[in-house]
């Protein structure tokens, strides 16, 4: 069958499936799935449809396909038969001796030139260019430029470092509104674009939580592999029955695991019943199938914990293939025959985003095992129990010597007293506190790590001054992340390890005084990061903090959208509250005005500051003037998360929150008491 494809520019405003009753069975089949703002001038798909195995063409977002493009889908001839032709009067059967691979996927931001031919089973990577007249017979790498017959790589659109940055940013996954707003930069200089958007992308990736997948205890033979598949229940021609059958036939009595991700919705019971009907066919077969029924906060969290992704024909498939590409895992076509070809499964291994090879990782593990050979069995078991996610495992291995040896006096680590000790000194000795974290260290290094405070040379100089000050009335806080991490939950440990590379650790150590006593900067983060956040412990930590301002007159210096204590009882014990509002972002631009306004208040009042890195400097400057001032950072948003009781960071729509997606989009409030407390605005 020859199908003409013509999708005009600007006609696809959302990811769309074009349906057709190709088999005459009064069922819809997605002949073409195409992403937002992609177009096809004119292409011809030559396809053989049969009820046993039918393929479709999938195109990502912002991809341009020129005229006279030919896509050959599942037109293989079985050259191993004696006769390659057709015999009049004799029934013809589809090829059985050769692999049938039909699904053609053209990812995001691709350009396909005139008169190109694309053969079955090809995936063209993000950002690739296929020159006019090329015949593409194998996969095209991301951002490659290919030409010729057969098509070969003749170059790349950008330098390697630029491609690596673009593969972190993945701008095509933004909302249409954000893409439109960034159009000037998208049509402009590559380095300016990267400089603008890479810091946010890196921070966002570091904050992806780990999905809570229940591990399966495996006792069969062979390597331990987990394959992710997302059943396409909504399709008239679903792939999931064939995928499950192929998995059972290929991997029974092995340690391969099929992870089925099923979203919770109104049709969940029906979905589970349909799966039960299929599973009943294999009651006597021993294989590992793991159901993950959830609506995870970020679906990318699944891909960091699997070895392969099995595709389907849905409108979400290209998006999921893009997630697999982000984590460097293989994609296996869920419509090919055979599905689990040897050359495909041989490629499956967990790789981290920096593409470290497995043999290098094993070498590191071996070195650490030798180094730790004299430790107790309990410590040795920590190595065996490291996450099976390869990226997380690599981070764990890199950081393990600091975590395990922290109590062995074998490494020099900063001296960091507990948050409770800091609270005791703040209450009994009226100490002030200035805190440092990744944001403050980034400003000192001249790096734009945080959206809410750009790098500033003067702010960096002042932060260095505070970090090296000798005033005993000011407690210096740094996060307790350099040694043992056992008190933190999995997500927090993962993020700490991702941030605290050997390079970053050295940068921090160069700034710190190993003979000085610091206090835990996480004293103002009592909830979301801790392993015990589902116990009574967070309440006890918040109760201890509340004693600081119990019966005190407060001056709260905060960003205009922070609204500390509004909508909760965090400051219910305070005697009085006045507020000075600064900018929600880049508060240091108004520093002198904020400092002068705060100094108008009486020195008997307790000043609480929440202005990002600016708060560190402001708390110090006020302290040396005789005020008691505390840089309290995220304490209010942590309290909101605690009250929500979900054990993690969540959106708070009425408060600025730099640690969740779209946390800078804050709803207006109308609170008379809050408005009456505001004595000055510098926004």
Query: Which residues lie closer than 8 Å to 677 by C-beta, 6 or more apart?
Result: 556, 577, 578, 579
User: CB burial class (10 A; 0-12, 13-18, 19+) of residue 18?
Assistant: middle
R_g of the chain computed on alpha carbons: 29
Q: Is 77 known to be catalytic? A: yes
Beta carbons of 347 and 369 less than 8 angstroms apart: no
Q: What is the bridge-based pairing of β-strands 517-520 and 432-435? A: unpaired
Cα separation of 221 and 214, whole Å?
20
Structure tokens at 136: 């593409």
Cα separation of 313 and 574, whole Å?
59
DSSP letter at 612?
A: T
Which is the catalytic residue, given 77, 180, 454, 468? 77
Candidates 182, 613, 322, 269; CA nearest to 439 is: 613
Q: What is the bridge-based pairing of β-strands 517-520 and 415-417? A: parallel
Beta carbons of 326 and 353 less than 8 angstroms apart: yes
Q: 652: how many CB neighbours lie within 10 A of its CB?
A: 21
Give the sign of the dihedral formed by CA 304, CA 306, CA 307, CA 312: negative
Beta carbons of 11 and 18 less than 8 angstroms apart: no
Query: Which residues lie closer than 8 Å to 120 by C-beta, 6 or more apart?
Result: 55, 72, 73, 74, 75, 76, 101, 102, 103, 104
3-state secondary structure 387-423: CCCHHHHHHHHHHHHHHHHHHCCCCCCCEEECHHHHH
Beta carbons of 69 and 104 less than 8 angstroms apart: no
Residue 112 phi, psi dihedral angles, 5° rounding:
-110, 115
Q: 85: how many CB neighbours lie within 10 A of its CB?
A: 8
What are the Cα distances from residue 363, in Å, to 47, 160, 225, 344, 609?
Answer: 48, 26, 21, 26, 47
The residues assigned a catalytic role are 77
């Amino acid at each position: 069958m020859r199908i003409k494809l013509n999708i005009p520019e600007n006609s696809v405003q959302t990811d769309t499936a074009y349906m057709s009753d190709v088999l005459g069975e009064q069922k819809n089949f997605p002949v073409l799935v195409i992403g937002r703002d992609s177009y096809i001038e004119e292409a011809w798909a030559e396809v053989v449809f049969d009820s046993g195995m039918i393929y479709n063409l999938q195109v990502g977002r912002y991809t341009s396909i020129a005229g006279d493009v030919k896509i050959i889908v599942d037109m293989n001839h079985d050259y191993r038969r004696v006769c390659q032709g057709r015999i009049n009067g004799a029934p013809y059967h589809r090829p059985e001796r050769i692999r049938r691979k039909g699904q053609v996927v053209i990812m995001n931001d691709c350009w396909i030139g005139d008169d190109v031919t694309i053969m079955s089973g090809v995936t063209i990577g993000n950002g690739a260019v296929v020159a006019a007249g090329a015949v593409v017979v194998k996969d095209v790498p991301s951002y490659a430029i290919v030409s010729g017959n057969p098509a070969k790589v003749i170059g790349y659109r950008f330098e390697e470092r630029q491609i690596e940055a673009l593969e972190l940013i993945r701008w095509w996954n933004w909302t249409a509104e954000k893409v439109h707003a960034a159009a000037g930069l998208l049509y402009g200089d590559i380095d300016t674009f990267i400089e603008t958007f890479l810091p946010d992308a890196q921070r966002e990736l570091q904050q992806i939580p780990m999905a809570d997948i229940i591990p399966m205890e495996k006792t069969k033979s062979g390597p331990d592999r987990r394959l992710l598949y997302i059943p396409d229940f909504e399709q008239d021609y679903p792939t999931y029955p064939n995928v499950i059958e192929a998995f059972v036939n290929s991997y029974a009595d092995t340690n391969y695991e099929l992870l089925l991700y099923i979203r919770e919705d109104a049709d969940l019971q029906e979905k589970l019943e349909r799966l039960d009907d299929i599973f009943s066919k294999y009651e006597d077969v021993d294989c590992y199938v793991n159901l993950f029924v959830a609506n995870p906060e970020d679906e990318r969290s699944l891909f960091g914990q699997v070895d392969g992704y099995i595709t389907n024909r849905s409108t979400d498939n290209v998006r999921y293939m893009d997630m697999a590409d982000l984590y460097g895992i293989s994609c296996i076509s869920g419509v090919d025959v055979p599905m689990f070809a040897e050359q495909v499964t041989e490629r499956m291994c967990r790789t981290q985003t920096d593409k470290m090879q497995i043999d290098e990782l094993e070498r590191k593990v071996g070195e650490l095992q030798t180094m730790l050979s004299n430790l107790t069995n309990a410590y040795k078991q920590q190595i065996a129990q490291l996450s099976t996610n390869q990226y997380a495992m690599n981070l764990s291995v890199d950081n393990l010597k600091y975590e395990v040896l922290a109590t062995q006096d074998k490494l020099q680590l900063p001296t960091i007293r507990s948050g409770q000790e800091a609270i005791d000194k703040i209450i009994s000795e009226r100490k002030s506190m200035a805190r440092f974290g990744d944001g403050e260290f980034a400003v000192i290094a001249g790096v734009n790590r945080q959206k809410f405070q750009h790098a500033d040379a003067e702010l960096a100089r002042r932060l260095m001054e505070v970090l090296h000050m000798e005033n005993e009335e000011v407690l210096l806080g740094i996060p307790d992340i350099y040694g043992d991490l056992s008190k933190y939950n999995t997500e927090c440990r993962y993020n700490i390890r991702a941030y605290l590379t050997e390079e970053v650790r050295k940068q921090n150590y160069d700034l710190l005084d190993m003979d000085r006593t610091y206090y835990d900067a996480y004293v103002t983060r009592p909830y979301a990061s801790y392993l015990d956040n589902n116990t009574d412990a967070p309440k006890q930590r918040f109760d201890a903090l509340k004693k600081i301002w119990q019966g005190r007159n407060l001056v709260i210096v905060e960003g205009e959208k922070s609204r500390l204590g509004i909508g909760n009882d965090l400051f219910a014990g305070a005697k009085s509250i006045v507020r000075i509002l600064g900018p929600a972002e880049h508060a240091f631009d108004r520093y002198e005005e904020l400092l002068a306004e705060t100094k108008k208040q009486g020195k008997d009042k307790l000043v609480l500051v929440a202005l990002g890195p600016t708060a560190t400097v402001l708390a110090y400057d006020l302290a040396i003037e005789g005020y008691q001032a505390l840089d309290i950072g995220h304490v209010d948003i942590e309290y909101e998360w605690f009250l929500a009781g979900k054990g993690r960071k969540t959106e708070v729509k009425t408060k600025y929150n730099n640690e969740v997606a779209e946390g800078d989009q804050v709803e207006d409030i109308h609170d008379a008491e809050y408005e009456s407390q505001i004595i000055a605005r510098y926004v």
